[in-house]
Structures are given as structure tokens and as C-alpha cells.
Structure 1
């Protein structure tokens, strides 16, 4: 999951930075650095991760309990 977040952030930053120039890219990068260190964002990300893990566990349990065809 961390790799996906990194790649999404990197991709968005690259595209936006390439279109707007180096100065705007640096501005976006600084904003991202501040946002990812924000405890509120980390809390929300933790809750989202827990819900996603729970959903995956539920799905695996449902698929595992289904009789083979």
C-alpha cells in the first residue's frame, strides 16, 4: 500500500510539475511533505487502512467459505 501511495504521489507531482514548471513543482512537493506529516492525515489514513484490511479479510473469508465449483 505504501508503494502505491508513493507512486501516486510521485506521478501526480511529476505531471503537475512538468506542466507548471519547476517552481510550481517545488511548491506542490513542499505541500505534500507538510500534508503527509500532518497527524490528522495520518489518523485518517490509518482508519482507511484498517477498513480496507477488514474488507479484504471479510472478502477472503467469504470466498474461502464458498463451495468449489
Structure 2
């Protein structure tokens, strides 16, 4: 039983160390990609299009509400 627990402890320590190193490697890779100028530019384009779609949708809703209010006032 002691050998099993010792093996489990050693496996845990080695696995945790390898897991942390891999996590750090992935984190550094993500950060390098996220900071790349081409990625920043693409993110800006996507952000602008989303804002345009959201604001355009709100504008259309506002326009439709105004038309409905005027139509109701005419009745």
C-alpha cells in the first residue's frame, strides 16, 4: 500500500509540474498571438462591424417606433 501511495504522489507531482509548464507555454503563445498587429486589426474590424450592426438595429427599431406612433396619432 505504501508503494502505491508513493507512486501516486510522485505521479501527481510530475503531472502537476508538466501540466503547469504546458499551461504557461499555451498562455505565452496566446499572448503572442493576441498582441500581433494583424490580429489587433482584425479584432478592430470585427468590433466595428458588431457595433455598426447593433447601432443600426437600434436605429431601425427607433425609426419603426416613430412611424407607429405617428400612425396612431393620425387615427
TM-score bracket for the superposition, by shorter chain length:
0.5 to 0.7
Q: 1:47 aligns with which of 24, 45, 48?
A: 45
Q: Which of the pair is proportionally richer in helix?
A: 2
Distance 1:33 1:63 in 2: 39
Give CA-to-partner distance per residue, 1:18-68, whole Å, 9 cap, x none.
xx8211110110011101110000000000011011101111011111236
Distance 2:34 2:21 in 1: 20
- Divergent runs of 4+, >2 A: none
TM-score when normalising by structure 2: 0.59
Which residue in 2 is equivalent to 1:66? 64
Larger Rg: 2
Which residue in 1 is equivalent to 2:24? 26
* Structure 2: runs of 5+ lacking an equivalent: 1-17, 70-75
Higher RCO (CA-CA < 8 Å; seq separation 6+) = 1
Cα RMSD, aligned residues only? 2.3
TM-score when normalising by structure 1: 0.64
